Amino acid sequence: MSGYLKQSPVSLQFVTFLGFAFGFFALYLYGLQAITPGVTGQTLEALQSGTLTDPNSIGYLKITQFLYTIIAFFVPAALFAYLWQPYPVKYLGLKTPSGLQVILALLVMYGCLPFANLLGQWNETWPISQSARDLQNMAEKLLGVMLKMPTLQDLFINLVLVAIVPAIAEELFFRGIFQRLIIKATGKVWLSVFITSILFSAIHGEMLGFLPRVVMGFTLGAIYVLSGNLWLSILAHILNNGLQVTMLYLFQHGMVKEDPMKNTPVEWYYVALSIPVIIGLFWALSRKSVPMVMTDPEKRKDGEEVEEIGADENF
């Protein structure tokens, strides 16, 4: 396996991956700035800050969001995995899950929502600058326009663009690559899951939704660590995003009364009851899985390797 990234120091692996990430993001941003005036007759800034009523403009923004997800997250992760070793699918842990594993992972994700909502209520009281609030309001406005769904076809399109594609791309990037690189660098599995969840939340750029995303990111990272199966994290991510899109569709058509775009108050005792349930679900998932151990084995002074949680031939 000579010539593969797995033989390089973890520092070089980090530099390579971050180079891919920043490079492809810069390429996307440059291309978007260059083609937007020709396609829409407006600059990108004017398009984002204006009143979006033209269906063509809305469609264009949806396309740019799709391309952003692919170019900024999917391509760097897929390219790094391809260069890491000859078996990128095996390296990422993309193996077929059992039905029980899928059910447990989805229940874990759903069970974490009360805790995420409770933290979200507190998060919304944070004192942030007016400029940060203005940026978040603009992002919410754009998202609200993009997620207007007068027809069932719009719902299916948004499920693909907002739930399925981002879940696959972001899980490959954050859990499949970034989290594993941090684990390899630090040797601390759960600290690395937490660090990754913070970055995952921060990169979305919404301070008033920071803590709920940290919870979601940590949950997804824990699912990956305990199961060794990235598909389970992807499916849990799809559930979270898809549930929000579906509930918004039902709200827009008067089938539910609560706006899912707003944080619904949750009582503390629901959270207290959900915590032992979540712990039990995580335990059951670990019992029904073969975790992909993700750290290097320690070595004794005489050179003999000692098996650790994380010792895996793929990493």
Q: Is residue 156 part of a domain?
A: yes
Check residue 61 and give its pLDDT.
81
- Give start and end residues of each alpha helix (H) in 165-209: 165-170, 180-186, 189-202
Residue 314 lies in a domain: no
Grade residue 125 by pLDDT with cuts at 50, 70 and 90.
confident
Q: Which percentage of the chain shows pLDDT scores above 90?
A: 54
Looking at residues 250-268, what average pLDDT do you find? 84
pLDDT at 37: 79
Judge whether 313 lies within some domain. no
CA distance 218 to 191: 10
Phi and psi at 296, nearest 5°, equal -75, 145
Residue 297 has pLDDT above 70, yes or no: no
| Residue 185 located in a structural domain | yes
Is the pLDDT reported for residue 140 higher than 90?
no
Tokens read off for 215:
């919870």
Q: Does residue 311 sit within a domain?
A: no
Q: How far apart are CA 8 and CA 129, in angstroms?
A: 43
At residue 21, the pLDDT reads 96
The pLDDT-based confidence of 47 (bands split at 50, 70, 90) is low
**Is 82 domain-assigned?**
yes
Burial call 166-176: b when 16+ CB within 10 Å, e when fewer: bbbbbbbbbbb
Q: Which residues pair with 299 in a beta bridge?
A: 305
Contact 178, 313 (CB under 8 A): no
Question: Is 175 inside a domain boundary?
Answer: yes
To which H or E segment does residue 306 belong?
strand 305-306
Q: Higher pLDDT residue, 116 or 295?
A: 116
Number of domains within the chain: 1
Q: Which domain holds residue 69?
A: 5-306
54 assigned to some structural domain: yes
Rg (CA), the chain: 21
pLDDT at 303 (0 to 100): 46
Q: Which band of pLDDT confidence, cut at 50, 70 and 90, is reported for residue 48?
A: low
